[in-house]
Amino acid sequence: MPFAPAYPLLYRALKPLFPNCLWSGDAACRTIALTFDDGPHPRFTPQLLETLERYSVTASFFWLGACVQRSPTIARDVYEQGHWIGLHGYDHRSFPLLSAAALKETLVQTQAEITHACQLPSESVRDVRPPNGLFTPNTLALLQQWQYRSVMWSVVPEDWVRPGTTTVVQRILQQVENGSMIVLHDGYHGGADVADTVAQLIPLLLAQDYRFVTIDQLWQDRSS
User: Which candidate in 38, 88, 185, 186 is catalytic?
Assistant: 185
Q: Which of 181, 188, 168, 177 has its CA nearest to residue 2? A: 168
Tell me if 192 is assigned to some domain. yes
Could you tell me what percent of the chain has a pLDDT over 90?
92
User: Which candidate in 37, 159, 186, 193 is catalytic?
Assistant: 37
Interval 185-199 mean pLDDT = 95
Tell me if 44 is assigned to some domain. yes
Tell me the angle at which helices 44-54 and 194-207 cross, rounded to the nearest 10 degrees: 20
For residue range 134-173, list pLDDT tens digits in order. Answer: 999 999 999 999 999 999 999 999 999 999 999 999 999 9
Residue with the bigger pLDDT between 122 and 100: it is 100
132 pLDDT more than 80: yes
d(CA 192, CA 100): 34
Task: Answer yes or no: are the C-beta atoms of 189 and 36 closer than 8 Å.
Answer: no
Interval 76-86 mean pLDDT = 98
Domain that holds residue 86: 6-223
Residue with the bigger pLDDT between 28 and 4: it is 28
CATH number at residue 176: 3.20.20.370
Q: Reply yes or no on whether 41 is catalytic.
A: no
Any bridge partners for residue 152, and if so which? none
Tell me if 34 is assigned to some domain. yes
2 pLDDT more than 70: no
pLDDT of res. 1:
45
Interval 107-120 mean pLDDT = 97
Average predicted confidence (pLDDT) for the chain: 95
> Considering its fold, how many domains does the chain have in total?
1
Tell me if 1 is assigned to some domain. no
Other beta carbons within 10 angstroms of residue 102's beta carbon come to 13
Task: Answer yes or no: are the C-beta atoms of 60 and 214 closer than 8 Å.
Answer: yes
Tell me if 105 is assigned to some domain. yes
109 pLDDT more than 90: yes
Residue with the bigger pLDDT between 194 and 6: it is 194
Tell me if 60 is assigned to some domain. yes
For residue range 14-58, list pLDDT tens digits in order. Answer: 999 999 999 999 999 999 999 999 999 999 999 999 999 999 999
For residue range 168-188, list pLDDT tens digits in order. Answer: 999 999 999 999 999 999 999
For residue range 46-55, list pLDDT tens digits in order. Answer: 999 999 999 9
124 pLDDT more than 70: yes
Q: Reply yes or no on whether 185 is catalytic.
A: yes
